[in-house]
Amino acid sequence: MLLRHPGDEPRRRADATATRSNAWGLAAAGRDVRRLSGSGACRFRPLTGTTPLLVFSLPDRRNFGGRRRGGGRRGSRGRPAAVATELHHREDGPGNARRPGHCQPQSIARPEGQSVAGGAQFPRHDDGRRHLEEARRGLQGHRPVIHKRRADLLRSGTVGKKYRWRDETYNGITIASGTPTATSEKPVAYSYVDHVVVVASSATVIHEIIDSDQGRGARLVDSSDFKATMTLLPSDRVGMGYLAGKSLVAGVKQQMAKPSTLGLPALKTVDDLNALQGIGGALSATGNGIAFDLAVKLDASKLSPATRQAFTATGHPDTVLRWVPKTSDGFLAIANVDKSIKSLLDQYGTDPSLKAGTDAVGLTGPTGILPHLTGELGLEIELGNNTIPSGAILLGTNDTAAMNAFLGKVVGMASALGVGSSQGGILSPGFDPHSIDTLQTSTYRGTTITTWHTPSLPGFAPSYAALDRMGVLASSPAEVRAVIDAHLSGSTITTDPTYQAASAASLPRPAGIMYVNLARVVSVIQKLPTSSAVDTKAVAYLAPLQALMLTASSETGAALERFFVAIK
């Protein structure tokens, strides 16, 4: 773990480095975080070895916002506000950004008479620079005392008392190593390297960090994999993380071989998994929320032809959005569901019981719906004013008749497995439609809606219809009508201002979308007749939030996801 004090500025380039491939990096330094990412002038060095690396700095609250793309650096005010140690000279003028690669903190020149700190005023040129430089040196002279006090507090604390401490010096830097007095604890070491607090599992790891900081070790940020991965992420970050692809354990690789929840391609072969270059994450801020981006970078030349094509041929669930009512409180929309199903069947299709099950439900077989799926899948939910929410499943199809038959089979199987199964299901020869379950049809705006009424599902009346290349399976005939109205009238979720704001801050043209209107969720919870302590706490936590959206997309040799939280 690396902790950077908000008032400290590295005196030279401090770049993220690793001599081993397994290294995590997470950094925060107000809005001026490009120096942590490799695209700016200053960078921090991550831990080497197998221990995860954390780099932290407290951001300036006044500057938390206004996410910006592009590689240009921000001015000094983007850094943590500690005037005494945040003094920089802009050789090309106070209004311009420092030159790339220029990290040496120098004194700053301000217009004559302008206050710098605590009401002090300095002239504009050499005299002011000299005074500020002397002040900075004076403060640095007290740092060893301050750092020793911090170390004493750490060792005398609740955690520190569990260790026996020993100090050593490595290339001019003091390292403290703690040996646990109890077997339940792990060894620990810490140091203060180039204005960064480093906490590691051993002094050896800190040795590597010092070597990298002093130019004797390879730097992670110089690796092509790191650069290729982090380029996919927003450049203006308040936090970042990176995991070298070659260091992924077998379990993680196995997990990545499964299709993504949001319809992204799976890595199918060993060559596909070995193509992994790195996984990067970045936390950034906008004027109306915060976003976390995750990027998976792969070497496209090592991917199998099928996987390479899958990454570039992902669809978009735009069709689903044209069916989701504006009043919906949340939805899931993904593309490529047909490809995901086929991929799973290819992987597990040798199991006879699985094949029999998919044939029985009408997914596969001579009359199966799989060949008639166009890839779009949606799930929309509306909480409304009732204790039981309503919703609908949307399935894209190129054959309306085949979709109607498939949905009818699904409802029929559900009825056969329902409460009335002792008297025979809807499809059973001796079934009496008036005894327990009934099927009714109605017509709405030229579309036939089939409804299953059953006492086994109180509050629900499952209904289905198929029209305009879309199958609809909803919780009630009213919900089917709402979906049809949204499609025919254009009053869809895409016209909702809250959705529009969240969508504008998310990935463009994603392959998958998950959206929740948190403000409406909170409103529904508050209207519940009885609210538990858990509900009350949930409302308190969610009240400042407007909405959340998760989007995912892929491109040649890369997969991207963004989780955005809109704040009121």
Q: Which residue has the higher pLDDT, 120 or 331?
A: 331
Tell me the per-residue pLDDT of 35-66, one tens digit each, with 9 for 90 and over.
Answer: 333 333 334 444 343 443 443 333 443 444 44
pLDDT of residue 150: 65
Query: CB atoms < 10 A from the CB of 291, how many?
Result: 22
Please give the radius of gyration of the chain, using alpha carbons only, rounded to the nearest integer. Answer: 30
19-28, 347-356, 464-473: range with lowest mean pLDDT: 19-28
User: What is the residue-wise DSSP string for 33-101?
Assistant: -HHHHTSSS--PPPPPSSS---EE-PPPGGG------SSPPP-GGGS---GGG-----TT-TTSPPPTT
Q: Decide if pLDDT at 307 tops 60.
A: yes
Mean pLDDT over residues 309-317, rounded? 80
Q: How far apart are CA 516 and CA 539, in angstroms?
A: 15
Q: Decide if pLDDT at 422 tops 90.
A: no
Q: What value, to the nearest 5°, has the Cα angle with vertex 223 and ends 220 and 227?
A: 100
Task: Tell me, letter by letter, the H, E, C secondary structure of 490-520.
Answer: CCEHHHCHHHHHHHHCCCCCCCEEEEECHHH
Contact between residue 467 and residue 319 where contact means Cβ atoms under 8 Å apart: no
What's the mean pLDDT when you consider all of the chain? 74
Name the packing angle between helices 337-348 and 352-360 (round to 10°): 150
The H or E element that residue 529 is part of is none
pLDDT of residue 427: 42
pLDDT of residue 458: 82
CA distances from 492 to 313, 329, 403, 445 (A): 27, 12, 23, 17
pLDDT of residue 350: 74
In the sheet that holds 196-200, the strands lie side by side as 55-56, 2-4, 196-200, 188-193, 173-180, 163-170
**How much of the chain exceeds pLDDT 90, in percent?**
39
Task: Name the region of 137 (left: φ>0; alpha: ψ -120 to 50; beta: rest).
Answer: alpha
Tell me the per-residue pLDDT of 73-82, one tens digit each, with 9 for 90 and over.
Answer: 333 333 322 2
pLDDT of residue 105: 37
Q: Tell me how many helices (H) and strands (E) the chain has.
A: 16, 19
Most confident segment among 314-318, 429-433, 557-561: 557-561
Q: Which residue has the higher pLDDT, 143 or 357?
A: 357
Q: Which residue has the higher pLDDT, 20 or 529?
A: 529
pTM of the model: 0.68
Tell me the per-residue pLDDT of 531-559, one tens digit each, with 9 for 90 and over.
Answer: 566 667 778 888 899 999 999 998 888 99
Find the length of the chain.
568
138-142, 404-408, 463-467, 528-532: range with lowest mean pLDDT: 138-142
CA distances from 477 to 333, 346, 484 (A): 21, 36, 11
Tell me the per-residue pLDDT of 481-529, one tens digit each, with 9 for 90 and over.
Answer: 999 999 999 999 999 999 999 999 999 999 999 999 999 988 887 877 6
Report the candidate in 325, 317, 318, 320 with the shortest Cα–Cα distance to residue 485.
Answer: 325
Q: How far apart are CA 166 and CA 171, in angstroms?
A: 17
Q: How far apart are CA 401 and CA 492, in angstroms?
A: 25
Q: Decide if pLDDT at 110 tops 70.
A: no
pLDDT of residue 294: 96
The H or E element that residue 219 is part of is none
Query: CB atoms < 10 A from the CB of 222, how many?
Result: 13
pLDDT of residue 406: 95
Q: Please, where are the H alpha helices in 287-438? A: 305-312, 318-321, 337-348, 352-360, 400-416
Tell me the per-residue pLDDT of 259-270, one tens digit each, with 9 for 90 and over.
Answer: 665 655 666 666
Contact between residue 217 and residue 208 where contact means Cβ atoms under 8 Å apart: yes
Q: Reduced to 3 states, what is the DSSP secondary structure of residue 282?
A: strand
User: With b meaning 16 or more CB within 10 Å and e meaning fewer, what string describes 526-552?
Assistant: eeeeeeeeeeeeeeeeeeebbbbbbbb
Q: Decide if pLDDT at 255 tops 50.
A: yes
pLDDT band at 240 (very low <50, low <70, confident <90, very high): very high
Q: How far apart are CA 106 and CA 95, in angstroms?
A: 16
pLDDT of residue 489: 96
Amino acid at 368: G
Tell me the per-residue pLDDT of 95-105, one tens digit each, with 9 for 90 and over.
Answer: 333 333 333 33
Q: How far apart are CA 196 and CA 270, in angstroms?
A: 40
pLDDT of residue 254: 59
pLDDT of residue 135: 55
17-31, 123-137, 272-286, 410-424: range with lowest mean pLDDT: 17-31
- The dihedrals phi and psi of 513, each to the nearest 5 degrees, come to -140, 135
Query: Which one-letter DSSP state was computed for residue 259?
Result: P
